[in-house]
Amino acid sequence: MRLAIEAGSTEFWLNALPWLVQNTSAVGGSVLLLQPKPMRHSTGEISEAVGKAITDWEGTLDQLQEWMPEQGALSSTAPPADIAVHPTLPIVHVAIRQRQGVLGGISLVFAAPDRPDRPLAGSVGALVAVVARLATQATENHQLQRRLTRSGLLYELSRTLTSSLEIDVVLQFTTALAANALGSENSALLLIAAEWREFVVAVAHGAAANAYALKQIPIDDGIAGWVAQTGLPMIVNNPQRDPVFSPLLDHKTGYATRNALCAPLQARGNVLGVLMVSNTEDGRDFAVEDMEWLAALAAQASIAIENARLYSSLRDERDRIIQAEEDLRRRLAGNLHDSAAQLVGSLLMNLEVARRVATNHPEQVGAELDLLRDLVQQVNVAIRQSLLELRPLMLESRGLAGALRGFVNQQRRLGFAVTAEIGDLPEIPNRHVETALYLIAQEALSNARRHARSEYTWLRIWIDENWLILEVEDDGRGISREWENNDTPPTGMGLVSIRERVEWLGGQLLILSPRPGQQRGTLVRARISLARLLAPPPRDQPSRLADIGT
């Protein structure tokens, strides 16, 4: 019983055979287990003639299995005998029954020339039946123990995955757990690279780990492709006869697949990849129970992978926000240094001059005060310009069109030649959407003023059927030349923030340099759906669970 619970049915019967031989005073015995791959084992003295007789009787076990009525139906013929005594040789054959099926058969050989009589055969059959019942109970206990063990592994997986948001840790732990729990030589986690329409072996574990690592296979190829397309797990115990199996990965790695089990990784209705194990260590076939457990493991891993990806995206977004804040501080510091700080310095110097003039030449104080007034006005304009870039206050009082006209007027006072063509715009109920549109225009104009070295710049915003179109065009040097010696476009020009805001609005961004029909200049065009702009702001919905227990 302990052996069966710990090692399973096969080990139980291999050890039960010599025990039965000893306790029935037999001289030898043989056991055949009708598993997906039949297994035969013998012990003691078995002559060639006895061996042939045993083999012939074992061939009748199929008749016992075939006779079993389906779903409890009655049969018109009598079943073959479970206990048989060979007519000429001292052999007792006993079929091993397990619930409603035939598990195999045991043959006990006694010393010649004594032939076992019917009472002895009946006693042997009864003893085998008792052992079979014990084996059934022990096997069920073994399966229960295995389920409990695997449930514990899933619990450990959940605890480990929830304690780590690093996707590399998630993938490696999941892949190793799948191989160890299912007794497989190899396991691999294949993620879908959507832009390539391929699987990439992200993590591999086992004997073929190095050969599997980072291999790429078509997304519609073989078992993994079928599982990804259907979203269903799959067992392949005979690859050579299964039309779904593809030898492509075997050819790439040099490892032959004897059997395989594959489950999809799914999150929010999307297939992220597949989790696959192959080649059981003991040569057994994968069972439905194995497939169900791997599917549960893949479900846990899918949630963890999605959480890790979301965490990575949030971390990247945090870094972008920090970088944007740093750029804003740097730009504000530069603006204050180049304008307000220098003007305040001049103001201090002229105050000192005015003080001396008031002492020595009182009649000239009026001119000095006029100069000081001009400096103070310039300081006021510079500070207002900085505040305008930090927070578009005019949006609250003038709306989008009025705020854009005010910003254009501010730019003109700074000597920036910009023309605004602003059509009739609808009222935008969502303040964040309105602010995003304003900042897109502001950033595009600021880029042109700082970097384009243009003579003229145009701001255009109008409604075209169901779209709002926002354009900023300049006749400057363009931006393509700045990209010639770089692998990636420059990020300091604000194009990244413009693109992110347009994407947040669900719009489309087009950047052309040089502008259409010209040899120089840049055109930035954002196209936003009116349905998105006119949608009311979402309301916070309190959770119905919040009041439970209060």
- Is the model's pLDDT at 532 over the cut of 50? yes
pLDDT of residue 139: 64
pLDDT tens for each residue of 78-118: 555 678 888 888 888 888 877 667 888 889 998 876 667 77
**How far apart, in whole angstroms, are the C-alpha atoms of residue 382 and residue 388?**
10
Which candidate, 348, 338, 418, places its Cα nearest to that of 385?
338
CB atoms within 10 A of CB 353: 13
Residue 473 has pLDDT above 90, yes or no: yes
Q: What is the pLDDT of residue 138?
A: 66
pLDDT of residue 467: 92
The mean pLDDT of 176-190, rounded to a whole number, is 84
pLDDT over 70 (residue 194): no
Residue 471: pLDDT above 90?
Answer: yes
Q: What is the pLDDT of residue 523?
A: 92
The residues near 531 (Cβ < 8 Å, ≥ 6 apart) are 466
Closest CA to 9 of 282, 262, 236: 282
Q: Which fold has domain 392-538?
A: Heat Shock Protein 90 (3.30.565)
Q: What does the pLDDT average to over 29-47?
A: 84
Measure the CA angle with vertex 40, ends 38 and 42; round to 5°.
175
Contact (Cβ atoms closer than 8 angstroms) between residue 100 and residue 68: yes
Instruction: Give the residue among 106, 123, 128 at the shortest CA–CA distance from 43.
Output: 106
Q: Which of 312, 291, 534, 547 is nearest to 433 (CA)?
A: 534
Residue 234 DSSP SS3: strand
Domains in the chain: boundaries: 2-70+78-145, 153-311, 392-538
Lowest-confidence region among 25-29, 217-221, 305-309: 305-309
Q: Is 425 helix (H, G, I), strand (E, B) or coil?
A: coil
User: Which is more confident, 120 or 317?
Assistant: 120
Instruction: Retrieve residue 75's tokens.
Output: 């049969």
**CATH code of domain 153-311:** 3.30.450.40
In terms of pLDDT, which residue wins out, 160 or 132? Answer: 132
User: pLDDT by residue (tens digit) across 231-271?
Assistant: 899 999 888 888 888 888 788 777 888 899 999 988 877 88
Radius of gyration from C-alpha coordinates of the chain: 41
Residues 352-399: tens digit of each pLDDT: 777 777 878 787 778 878 777 777 777 776 666 666 555 566 677 788
User: Which residue has better confidence, 296 or 211?
Assistant: 296
Residue 342, number of CB atoms within 10 A of its CB: 14
Are 2-70+78-145 and 153-311 equal in CATH topology? yes
Q: Does 119 have pLDDT greater than 90? A: no
- Reported as type and span, the H/E element at residue 29 is strand 28-33
The answer on pLDDT for 351 being more than 90 is: no
pLDDT in tens, 205-222: 887 777 777 678 888 788
Question: In terms of Cα–Cα distance, which of 500, 498, 505, 499 is closest to 531?
Answer: 505
Tell me what pLDDT residue 526 has. Answer: 94
Residues found in the chain: 550
Q: What CATH class does 2-70+78-145 carry?
A: alpha beta
Question: Does residue 486 carry a pLDDT above 70?
Answer: no
In the predicted structure, residue 319 carries a pLDDT above the cut 80:
no
In whole angstroms, give the CA distance from residue 515 to residue 521. Answer: 5
Distance CA 282, CA 183 (A): 8
pTM: 0.45
Residue 72 has pLDDT above 60, yes or no: no
What burial class does residue 506 get, using C-beta atoms within 10 Å of its C-beta: 0-12 exposed, 13-18 middle, 19+ buried? exposed
Residue 364 confidence (pLDDT) = 77
- Give CA–CA dist 357/469, Å, rounded: 57
Q: What does the alpha-carbon distance between residue 515 and residue 519 come to, in Å, rounded to a whole number? A: 7
Contact 222, 249 (CB under 8 A): yes
Here the tokens at position 304 are 């963890």
**Residue for token pair 């701001």:** 459
pLDDT at position 483: 44
| Cβ–Cβ under 8 Å, residues 439 and 445 | no
Is the per-residue pLDDT at 57 higher than 70? yes
Q: Which helix (H) or strand (E) holds 354?
A: helix 342-360
At 149, the pLDDT band (50, 70, 90 cuts) reads: low
CA dist 283 to 38, 184, 222, Å?
12, 9, 22
Torsion angles phi and psi, residue 220, rounded to 5: -110, 20
